Amino acid sequence: MSGRPGLTADQSGHRPAPPGAGVRRRRAWAIPVGRDRRQDGSALVVALAFALVVVLTAMAAIDVGGLVVARAGVQTAADLAALAALTPGPAPPRQAAEAVAAANRARLASCDCEGEEAVVRVERVVRLLPAGPSVRLPARARAILPVRPLFPAAPGGGGAGGQAGGAAFGSDDTGAGVAGARALLHDPRLVLSPNARGDLAAGRVDRRLLGLLAAILRRHRVAVGVFRTGHSRFVAGTTVVSKHAHGRAMDIFEVDGGLVRRGHTPSLELVRWLAGLRGPRRPSEVGSPFPQFEEVPGHFSNRAHLDHVHIAVG
């Protein structure tokens, strides 16, 4: 019924054309063709119009597909450029990021890539086919330095006795009668620098500090860089003797596998827990990258403590 003018007139409520009338209605949208009998090609016209719609849809689909692919490509370029900015190499970070972005067919728009974190913005201009408008596709990526184990694993584990483990600690948190440095030496949750290991093995670390460390280890995995050996005798810039010199302080550089720094949640949790301690376990000094605890007695934050937590007792 599609191509029948008579039906059209009926449906629209008009009276049927008088018999023999030469004028026939045609659909409003039908394209006039230069023939006597206009309705002859109407199906073809419908099909052509439909085909046009299909072609336009196909072009739109190709455009959208191309945009999706390009979008993923730009994100790839951003990710790899951010990684490149942190990759050690001969070129400065920005140039390295620029080269990688270009190799991935994107342009580096900005690179905030000094230090151990890189935030990179790249963009690619995509032309919609055929010869359509250009679209600018931006992408952003952030990378931080991969965290390596701070100290190599304990060489050989210090011989036998490793299985003694943390069990020897029991429930004693106060430091009085701690099973000793020996169990700490074999605690898999504790990473020690060679200096710290030496201090611990030689008994140069205060028992109260060991008790606090054992309590910390129940909550976090930590890496201790310094107890006494390797630390200056005096507090930097002063003639005040540091608590490190008495084996009553330690510097923690890694918490739960992540380097201590501002914005590192496990480190923040550790310091918050320390700030909430009461009684004999309470440390006398806590230096950290987190200034929000400075009102807590004994807590402080300064430039020298952006990368570790200093904990002292007594």
Partner 1 sequence: MTASDERGAVTLELAAAIPLLAAFTVTLVGVVALAGSQLLAQGAAREGARQAAIGGSGRTAVAAARAALPPGRQAAVRVLRPAPGLVRVEVRLWARLFPGGRVELTAAAVAAVEPAPEPAAEPATPPARPAPTSPPASP
* Interacting residues with partner 1 between 152 and 171 (CB under 8 A): 152
Interacting residues with partner 1 between 279 and 308 (CB under 8 A): 284-285, 287, 298, 300, 302, 304-305, 308
Q: Fill in the per-residue mask, 81 to 100: x = in contact with partner 1 (CB under 8 A), - = not in contact.
A: --xx--xxxxx----x--xx
**Rule CB under 8 A: is residue 125 a binding residue for partner 1?**
no
Distances from the Cα of 24 to the Cα of 27, 38, 172, 313, angstroms: 10, 9, 103, 104
Upper half-sphere CA count for residue 226 (Cβ side, 13 Å): 18
**CA dihedral sign of residues 53, 54, 56, 57:** positive
In the complex, the smallest distance separating the C-beta of residue 246 from partner 1, rounded to whole angstroms, is 6
Which of 137, 151, 200, 259 touches partner 1 by CB under 8 A? 151
Interacting residues with partner 1 between 184 and 243 (CB under 8 A): 193-195, 225-226, 230-232, 234-238, 240-243
In the complex, the smallest distance separating the C-beta of residue 305 from partner 1, rounded to whole angstroms, is 7
Go through 209-235 and write b for each residue having 16 or more CB atoms within 10 A of its CB, e for each that does not.
bbbbbbbbbeebbbbbbbbbbebeeee
Residue type (1 letter), 84: A
In the complex, the smallest distance separating the C-beta of residue 43 from partner 1, rounded to whole angstroms, is 4
Give DSSP secondary structure letters for 85-105.
Answer: HHS-SSS-HHHHHHHHHHHTT
Indicate the SS3 state at residue 191: strand
- Is the Cβ of residue 31 or residue 48 nearer to partner 1 in the bound state? 48
Q: Fill in the per-residue mask, 26 to 55: x = in contact with partner 1 (CB under 8 A), - = not in contact.
A: -----------x-xxxxxx-xxx-xx--xx
The DSSP element (H or E) to which 125 belongs, if any, is strand 117-127
